[in-house]
Chain A
Amino acid sequence: NAGVTQTPKFQVLKTGQSMTLQCAQDMNHEYMSWYRQDPGMGLRLIHYSVGAGITDQGEVPNGYNVSRSTTEDFPLRLLSAAPSQTSVYFCASSRKVRGNTIYFGEGSWLTVV
């Protein structure tokens, strides 16, 4: 049981490039989400999913796309990277039961130059 696995852990992109951050969980969790954390700040919700085939926007969705074709995977796509997207990205998952514990991945450090 690996929990929530994110790849890559570190990435440097040039402005305008696109890339995908991968997230996978092996706990059969219905809920998955992506957060970004800027230096010295809290986590902000980018996109979330309540199940396969269902996604919705969070607080800061612009510049990002997601899809949820399987229960296990929830990739985050940066369409055209900008320096403002330099951040640490955390994927999280939880059961659908209300009030259930949320598990975080180890994070992906992204720098856009």
Chain B
Amino acid sequence: GENVEQHPSTLSVQEGDSAVIKCTYSDSASNYFPWYKQELGKRPQLIIDIRSNVGEKKDQRIAVTLNKTAKHFSLHITETQPEDSAVYFCAARAAGNKLTFGGGTRVLVKP
């Protein structure tokens, strides 16, 4: 089955700096890669996603890149703000609409 590795597990950045989280996946059949933000005690919230026919997608301060050949994708957050502090999860979806999650990255934005 699919295996998703996520790095780093924790990330501390200064407010205004950029944050980058990287994920790799194992199943070349995976075709959908969402990123979720989860605040303490809340459900995962979709923040951006990318499909396998696209290499990059941007939404304001958030961007995601996908390299299908290398089977890795990354989340980029620019101009970080304290409200960006949360746990971020990458995921990959292959056959049967099953979503496999990475282990999560705890991001702390220091003011």
Contact = CB atoms under 8 A, between A and B. Distances in A.
The answer on A and B forming one complex is yes
A74 interface: no
Contact of B43 (A31, A33, A56, A107): A107
B39 to A, nearest CB: 12
B97 A31 contact: yes
Contacts, number: 58
Interface string A42-73: 11110010100000101100000000000000
B89 to A, nearest CB: 6
A45 B98 CA distance: 8
Given A31-B97, A99-B51, A42 B46 contact: no
Contacts of B98: 33, 45, 48, 58
B99 A90 contact: no
Interface residues of A, number: 26
Interface string B92-111: 01001111111110000000
Most chain A CB within a 10 A radius of its CB, from B43, B51, B101, B104: B43
A74 to B, nearest CB: 13
A30 B42 CA distance: 24
A106 B43 contact: yes
Contacts of B102: 42
Nearest to B99: A102
B104 A104 contact: no
B59 to A, nearest CB: 14
Interface of B: 1, 6, 31-32, 34, 42-46, 49, 51, 89, 93, 96-104
Interface of A: 31, 33, 35, 40-45, 48, 50, 56, 58-59, 90, 92, 94, 96, 98-99, 101-102, 104-107
A-B interface, 6 closest residue pairs, ranked by CB to CB distance from nearest: A42-B101, A99-B32, A104-B43, A31-B97, A43-B101, A42-B103
